[in-house]
Chain A
Amino acid sequence: MLKSSESILNDPHFKLLSFLVTSARGCLDEPQIYGPLRLLDAAQRVIEIMKEEGKSTEEIEKLEEKIEECIDVLMYDEEEFVKLLDEISKDLARIIKG
């Protein structure tokens, strides 16, 4: 069923949709490093949706903590940001491997 415009504003999928569209436009003009930042932010939003829908796991929630740390560190230490991003990629691979 279609949602009314009022309730869609609080819908996490709509929030993600809005974030992705406005990020796509923003990335054309913003610093290059903001691209990975927006993708990580989107990843965190996906995990939040998974949690709400009962689809998350302990490993995914640990991944979210690292993503949050990674976002925080970006403005202070780009090298550390890349290091954490590599760690997150490895953690993700471990989840996929099972």
Chain B
Amino acid sequence: MELIDIIKGRRAVRRFEDKPISIEDMKKILEAAIWAPSGSNIQPWEFILVMDKENIEKIKLVSPGLFGNPQALVVVCLNKERAKKGGKMGEEMARLDLGISAQNMMLMAYSLGIGSCPVVSFNKIALKELLNIPEHVDPVIILIFGYPKRWPRAPRRREFKEVVHVEEFGKHFE
């Protein structure tokens, strides 16, 4: 599959088949995460893989944005101690790094026929308690994975002409 097809084909999937994902595929997805670019190569991330059904159900209880029946979750966390190495910009850079690593995972998943969706509507305090996440680590995104019941239709995008500026702001492609 061409990269552009993977980028354009990925969707936010929230309804999944009751079919497990192999640990090998989840490892491939996580491998893609750790090869994301990182400002000053700080790699401020920690990834918590959750595949146990009971644990997924417990996380769902404190995550209003997490519905459906995902087969696996990856909790993408920010290691604040590592982020400090980036100085005043450390946390901002770290959040960008986390976002890029999440995108790597979602694209890798799509290339394997696996649907995904980023979730940020969860109770951080409760999630930290549930997963024994230490004080200096903050969960930022939960990625949910599973085989889609159906691939959702593409959402509207702002026009290329509108959002791309050439040489200076406000000048667009003809």
Interface residues in chain A, defined as those with a beta carbon under 8 Å from any beta carbon in chain B: 9-10, 15, 18-19, 22-23, 25-26, 30, 34, 38, 41, 72, 75-77
Q: Does A34 contact B61, Cβ atoms closer than 8 Å?
A: no
The distance in angstroms between the C-alpha atoms of A72 and B12, with both chains bound, is 11
The verdict on A22 contacting B122 (CB below 8 Å), with A38-B64, A76-B156 known, is: yes
Q: Do A9 and B58 touch across chains, with their CB atoms under 8 A apart?
A: yes
Closest to A24 in B: B64
In the complex, whether B57 has a CB less than 8 A from a CB of chain A is: yes
Q: Which residues of B contact A10 (CB under 8 A)?
A: 57
The answer for the CA separation of A97 and B49 in the assembled complex, in Å, is: 50
B153's partner among A19, A22, A25, A76 (CB-CB below 8 A) is A76
Q: Is A41 within 8 A of B64, CB to CB?
A: yes
Query: Number of contacting residues on B, CB 8 A?
Result: 17
**B61 partner, pick from A19, A25, A72, beta carbons under 8 A:** A19
Interface of B is mostly: loop
Is A30 a contact of B155 with CB atoms below 8 Å? no
Q: In whole angstroms, what is the CA distance A25 to B63 when docked?
A: 11
Instruction: Please report the number of residue pairs spanning A and B whose Cβ atoms sit closer than 8 angstroms.
Output: 37
Check B57 against A22 for contact (C-beta < 8 Å).
no
| Highest count of chain A CB atoms <10 Å: which of B64, B65, B155 | B64
A19 touches B64 (CB 8 A): yes
Give the chain B neighbours of A22 by CB distance below 8 A. 61-64, 122-123, 126
> Quick check: is B152 within 8 A (CB to CB) of the other chain?
yes
Residues of B within 8 A of A19 (CB): 61, 64
Closest 9 CB pairs of A and B: A23-B64, A18-B61, A22-B123, A76-B155, A26-B121, A22-B62, A22-B64, A26-B64, A38-B64
